[in-house]
């Protein structure tokens, strides 16, 4: 699958990504776009659904075997003259654009965590990144010359948002708000034909409410994509955030977006229903 958004995305972003792509190809480091930029590419640039906020950040997942490869990449970025270091080992800047580089793959430990080699002992969970990368799709950022990169699918994006929010709570309200945005708009990115074809029984169960059926479909896609460890964690998060005492995720979604608390709970329960395949 290839999504063509040539001339739709900010040329400054394309330039930054093109430079990084050249460097990573020379070092044989595969990567994909994650985070808010992936959200914008799918919803705003492909389907015309305006995102809740603008971003000047680029988040990249790089698949590497060890920290030596990470150092090779970061050294190459600074030596290129195009990027500046910051106080954070994983963050680089070019003009007003910030680039976060998140390692995943064989570099992770048995807990699917990475520990950056710094005195601050920064630890990140990259649970789900491997599956999300393997199921990623291509997007064309430029037609001439052709320039394609990988981004997560929408279910893959949900996986990263759920795990990031849970890992860094209460610091990641934006992940919760992004998740609500995705859930509420999933019905508008081509799910109706699938519901009336392959998932007709589920659509009927929902009284032909396309929105609710689409959210359950999203949950099913998340389950299909996830490996055992990732699925266990996602089920745990959604169970915790939809029980009788649930407040954390809904409040993070609710505060800034002024959404109805009960409505959000209903949507999260439908996502959970899909993930549990019931």
- Strand-pair category, 57-63 with 147-151: unpaired
Last residue of one domain, picked from the residues 121, 152, 183: 152
Contact between 244 and 127 under an 8 Å Cβ cutoff? The reply is no
Q: Are residues 17 and 113 in the same domain?
A: yes
**φ, ψ (nearest 5 deg) of residue 234:** -65, -40
Tell me which residue of 219, 34, 37, 43 sits closest to 130, measured CA to CA.
34
Q: Which long-range contacts (CB under 8 A, 24 or more apart) does 84-91 make?
A: 88/122, 89/116, 89/117, 89/118, 89/122, 90/116, 90/122
Contact between 19 and 82 under an 8 Å Cβ cutoff? The reply is yes
Distance, in Å, from the CA atom of 90 to the CA atom of 100, rounded to the nearest integer, reads: 6
Last residue of one domain, picked from the residues 134, 152, 170: 152
Rounded to 10 deg, the angle between the 248-257 and 173-185 helix axes is 80
Q: Are residues 211 and 85 in the same domain?
A: no
Q: Are residues 115 and 250 in the same domain?
A: no
Q: Are residues 162 and 147 in the same domain?
A: no
Give the pLDDT of residue 53. 78
- Across the chain, which distance is largest between two alpha carbons, in Å? 59
Q: Are residues 107 and 162 in the same domain?
A: no
Give the pLDDT of residue 257. 59
Rounded to 10 deg, the angle between the 261-275 and 228-240 helix axes is 150
Give the pLDDT of residue 118. 85
Provide the token pair at 129: 């990144």
Q: Are residues 148 and 14 in the same domain?
A: yes
Q: Are residues 171 and 269 in the same domain?
A: yes
Q: Are residues 189 and 84 in the same domain?
A: no
Give the pLDDT of residue 217. 98
Domain with 66 in it: 2-152
Last residue of one domain, picked from the residues 97, 121, 152: 152
Q: Is 176 exposed, middle or buried (0-12, 13-18, 19+ CB in 10 A)?
A: buried
Q: Are residues 169 and 249 in the same domain?
A: yes
Q: Are residues 105 and 17 in the same domain?
A: yes
Sequence-ordered list of residues with C-beta below 8 angstroms from that of 13, at least 6 positions apart, any chain: 37, 58, 97
Q: Could you tell me how far CA 188 lies from the centroid of its own chain?
A: 18
| Count of domains forming the chain | 2
Give the pLDDT of residue 256. 58
Q: Are residues 140 and 179 in the same domain?
A: no
Output the tens digit of pLDDT for each of the chain's 278 residues: 788 999 999 999 999 999 999 999 999 999 999 999 999 999 999 999 998 777 789 999 999 999 999 999 999 999 999 999 999 999 999 999 999 999 999 999 999 999 999 877 899 999 999 999 999 999 999 999 999 999 999 999 999 999 999 999 999 999 999 999 999 999 999 999 999 999 999 999 999 999 999 999 999 999 999 999 999 999 999 999 999 887 799 999 986 556 788 899 999 999 999 999 97
CATH of the domain at 85: 3.30.460
Tell me which residue of 223, 224, 242, 243 sits closest to 233, measured CA to CA.
223
Q: Are residues 70 and 14 in the same domain?
A: yes
Q: How far is CA 34 from each of CA 22, 119, 120, 170, rounded to the nearest angstrom?
A: 18, 26, 24, 21
């Amino acid at each position: 699958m290839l999504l063509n958004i040539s001339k739709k995305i900010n040329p400054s972003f394309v330039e930054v990504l093109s430079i990084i792509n050249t460097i990573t190809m020379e070092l044989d480091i595969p990567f994909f776009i994650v985070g808010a930029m992936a959200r914008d590419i799918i919803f705003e640039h492909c389907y015309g659904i305006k995102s809740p906020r603008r971003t000047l950040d680029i988040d990249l997942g790089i698949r590497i075997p060890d920290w030596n490869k990470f150092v090779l990449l970061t050294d190459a970025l600074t030596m290129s003259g195009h990027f500046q270091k910051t106080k954070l080992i994983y963050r680089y800047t070019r003009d007003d654009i910030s680039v976060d580089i998140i390692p995943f793959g064989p570099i992770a430990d048995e807990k699917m965590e990475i520990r950056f080699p710094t005195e601050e002992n920064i630890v990140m969970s990259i649970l789900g990144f491997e599956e999300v990368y393997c199921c990623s799709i291509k997007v064309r950022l430029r037609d001439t010359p052709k320039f394609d990169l990988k981004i997560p699918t929408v279910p893959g994006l949900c996986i990263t948002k759920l795990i990031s929010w849970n890992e860094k709570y209460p610091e990641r309200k934006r992940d919760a708000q992004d998740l609500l945005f995705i859930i509420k708009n999933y019905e508008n990115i081509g799910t109706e034909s699938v519901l009336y074809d392959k998932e007709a029984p589920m659509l009927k169960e929902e009284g032909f409410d396309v929105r609710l059926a689409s959210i359950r479909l999203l949950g099913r896609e998340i389950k299909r994509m996830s490996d055992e460890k990732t699925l266990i964690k996602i089920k745990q998060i959604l169970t915790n955030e939809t029980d009788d005492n649930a407040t954390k995720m809904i409040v993070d979604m609710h505060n800034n977006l002024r959404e109805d608390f009960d409505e959000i709970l209903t949507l999260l329960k439908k996502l959970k229903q899909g993930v549990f395949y019931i």
